[in-house]
Chains A and B, each alone.
Chain A
Amino acid sequence: MNINTLTIAAARALVQSRQVSARALAEAHYDQIAGRDETIGSFLTLTRERALGQAESIDRLAEKGDPLPPLAGVPVAFKDVLMTRGVRTTAGSRFLDKFIAPYDATAVAQVEAAGAICLGKLNCDEFAMGSSNENSAFYPVRNPRDTTRVPGGSSGGAAAAVAAGFAVATLGSDTGGSIRQPAAFCGVVGILPTYGRVSRYGLIAFASSLDHVGPLARSVEDAATLLEVISGRDSLDSTSADVPVGTYSSECGREVKGLRIGIPGEYFAEGLDPEIRQAIELRIDGLRRAGCEIVSISLPHTEYAIPVYYIVATAEASANLARFDGVRYTTRSPQAKTLSDMYRRSRDEGFGAEVKRRILLGTYALSAGYYDAYYLKAQQVRTLLTRDFHNAFTSVDAIVTPVTPTPAFKLGEKTDDPMAMYLSDIYTVTANLAGIPGISLPCGNNRDGLPLGIQILGKHFDEATLIRLAHAIEQDQQ
């Protein structure tokens, strides 16, 4: 058993056949974490007791020879914006340093009910705000492929843990690329499900119209298996959609012949790293050989996506983060004498610089006299961006693009320039704005051995086609 390349199906088979116990599998992962996570920094909290309890019940089932649930014995971990009952859940923020989640996020409950073993909680940018994981209030995560580089963000811990062999798969969240970009930087697979596909109940809110929960894994099939488990209507999230869930993992291996693939010129313009461009063109050639029809398309409003995103996301964040007021969530400044003093000082002491920056920008965009010029304008342009995709999908089945303009950058490289950091999300924010699904998967390495990513975007609720295509691309490289 090679723990670094173990897949969900393989882990489950080992446990079912009792070649390895779920407990031993969990312990082996904890050993890996103990050996190397001091350098990587992907975990904020380990949940050994929870994990061993879960492993014990799976091992008991396996002993009886009963058929095991789909994720039986699979060691997983959750980004620390997902609530885990009775376990510290920080969102990467000082504010929630001592917060113990009172209930489980729906996606967490689903994954655990499917037999997975929860190893712990994963580091991330504070309140999922960031593209490098350097905004974690605790410590940054380092890229397992090159520890001088960032793992991406905000689900940096979730991607690094999968890449480093600390967990077979993880759950992250994606508000503007936070699953797909770190997946690309660390060389793993990440899925942004359609808005409404996966319940957001128990996800600590950043921007409610853009937030998605989704899986990160080592293979397209693993990501698809996990997506199947977490998809579906949840009465606890009124925006979760009542749309049938596909058997996504069975899409792997299906023929892609006849599918029409759009290549948007705007995503391959100036600023794209030439090695990424080349790697993606290679994969497009592969799809063509497999019988896909490759079509040039235009998504003309792409260049407006970053400005729209940073208005909408910060406006929603400024409202969502108003709840952190010193009354309910663990942190209250000890110096506060009056109520208004308590609000201000608690927030000042609890929030990091990027969170304050975004709250200020969002509050500004929503404030009297600026609402029309910024927030309303951004929502109008969001309509145009969404129409671009609707128009494109009348003639193509899926769209292939880069995930990021460059491979993983160095720690500290963009921390002084928020705008430069924001622009690294240029190819990913569009899907969140339109609510469409996307998948990011590895498509080779650059000359320094850094992973490069390719993104496929699809129609609302058409995760099946994305997985089919992604699996074909994955196979083409083997």
Chain B
Amino acid sequence: MKVTEKDVAYVADLANLELTPEESTRMVADLNSILDHIDKLNQLDTANVEPLVEVASSFTSARCQGSERFAYAERADEVKPGLSREIALANAPDTNGTCFKVPKVIER
């Protein structure tokens, strides 16, 4: 058992998830079964292996160095039309017409 109920509660807290006691029991079992499988990675010595950080690294532009490789992604810093406030707020559960509204953050 790598993961206990306490670990699941801690991680759920980090992820802003609320779990029922039944859900929590199920997650402990599932995470342990998945992590057991993932342990297979420890068979490999990766001390001298660079982690992969960009999927496209080998073909963006092989001859360029550093940030030059991403020159294609640059654009002029110009103001362009975006979503209107009305559309941007349209899916919100609660607004005052100009802002998103949320429950009180600080209790008095």
* Contacts from A to B (Cβ < 8 Å): 98-100, 102-103, 195-196, 209-210, 233, 235, 238-239, 241-243, 301, 303-304, 306-308, 310-311, 318, 322, 325-332, 336-345, 347-348, 351, 353, 356-357, 359-361, 363-364, 367, 374, 376-384, 386, 390, 417-419, 422, 434-435, 460-461
Contacts and interface: CB of A to CB of B under 8 A. Distances in A.
Contacts of A359: 15, 17
A351 B59 contact: no
A326 B87 CA distance: 17
Contacts of B50: 380, 383
B21 interface: no
B102 interface: yes
Given A303-B40, A327-B92, 5 more contacts: A307-B39, A328-B91, A357-B31, A359-B15, A383-B49
Residue of B41, B70, B90 with most chain A CB atoms under a 10 A cut-off: B41
Given A311-B38, A379-B51, A331 B18 contact: no
Residue of B8, B38, B40 with most chain A CB atoms under a 10 A cut-off: B38
Nearest to A377: B41
Contacts of A353: 23, 26
Given A304-B40, A344-B16, A381-B41, A339 B104 contact: yes
A139 B70 CA distance: 43
B16 A386 contact: no
Contacts of A461: 59
Contact of B27 (A243, A325, A357, A460): A357
Residue of A196, A353, A361 with most chain B CB atoms under a 10 A cut-off: A361
A470 to B, nearest CB: 22
20 contacts: A99-B91, A103-B83, A195-B56, A239-B73, A241-B56, A304-B40, A326-B93, A326-B102, A340-B16, A357-B31, A360-B12, A360-B27, A361-B34, A367-B10, A367-B14, A380-B51, A384-B49, A390-B58, A422-B34, A460-B58
Contacts of A98: 91
B55 to A, nearest CB: 4
A418 B16 contact: no
Residue of A102, A210, A310 with most chain B CB atoms under a 10 A cut-off: A102
B56 A196 contact: yes
A31 B40 CA distance: 51
A331 B49 CA distance: 43
Interface of B: 3, 7-8, 10-12, 14-19, 23, 26-27, 30-31, 33-34, 37-42, 44, 46, 49-56, 58-60, 70, 72-73, 75, 83, 87-88, 90-94, 100, 102-105, 107
Nearest to A337: B103
Contacts of B17: 344, 347-348, 351, 356, 359-360
A377 B46 contact: yes
Given A241-B59, A307-B41, A338-B107, A328 B18 contact: no
A386 to B, nearest CB: 6
Contacts of B107: 338
Contacts of A311: 38
Contacts of B83: 102-103
Contact of A382 (B30, B52, B72, B87): B52
Contact of B37 (A322, A363, A419): A419
B51 A383 contact: yes
Given A342-B102, A381-B44, A435-B56, A418 B34 contact: yes
